[in-house]
Amino acid sequence: MTSAKGTDPATGDIGLRRTSHKTLGEITELLESHRFNVVVARLMELVNATRKAIDKGCGPADPAVREAAEFTSVALSVLAPYVAEEMWEVLGHAPSIANASWPVVDESLRTEQQTTMVVQVQGKVRAKIDVPTDITEDDAKAAALADPNVQRALDGREVAQVIVRLPKMVSIVPR
């Protein structure tokens, strides 16, 4: 990680930021219910997502990587304080992590903005389309009917019925 301390994470990779805030929110809830083993699992998922972002995505200089590392060290301080203290120092913070406040979760980043909509023709999956979670029924129908795989499955047949279950599925019944 090469981004400087105090760098604004809002300019960082949005995918990693979503994962970080979602995970931190889950960890907060899990700690309140004393489910420490699940907290460890969520921390491992966050570390893996950060590693993947560094290797195949945004790279180590992205501010979202620093944010994820800071989230990890603060959450880890509850379970492994000595390791977290060392991480905090490597991240350039002083004095102790014990004086650090719990990070604030951005709820707007915790919610999913997109989902995968499955399109069926005669009960068989013909397409999977990424759509906004707040898509309208008409837009979902139009996106489903415009997909090339759906057009190929319809093979010029007229559509008898379109069943829409937002935002997850569109089922098309040809005549």
pLDDT digits (tens, 9 = 90+) for 16-35: 999 999 999 999 999 999 99
The answer to whether residue 156 sits within a structural domain is yes
Of residues 102, 104, 109, 131, the one with CA closest to residue 119:
131
Query: Are the beta carbons of 16 and 50 closer than 8 angstroms?
Result: yes
pTM value is 0.66
pLDDT exceeds 80 at position 3? no
pLDDT exceeds 80 at position 95? yes
Residue 64 sits in the same domain as residue 148: no
Residue 43 sits in the same domain as residue 78: yes
| 3-state class (DSSP) for residue 128 | strand
The answer to whether residue 1 sits within a structural domain is no
pLDDT exceeds 70 at position 130? yes
pLDDT exceeds 70 at position 161? yes
Q: For the chain, what is the mean pLDDT?
A: 91
The answer to whether residue 4 sits within a structural domain is no
| 3-state class (DSSP) for residue 117 | strand
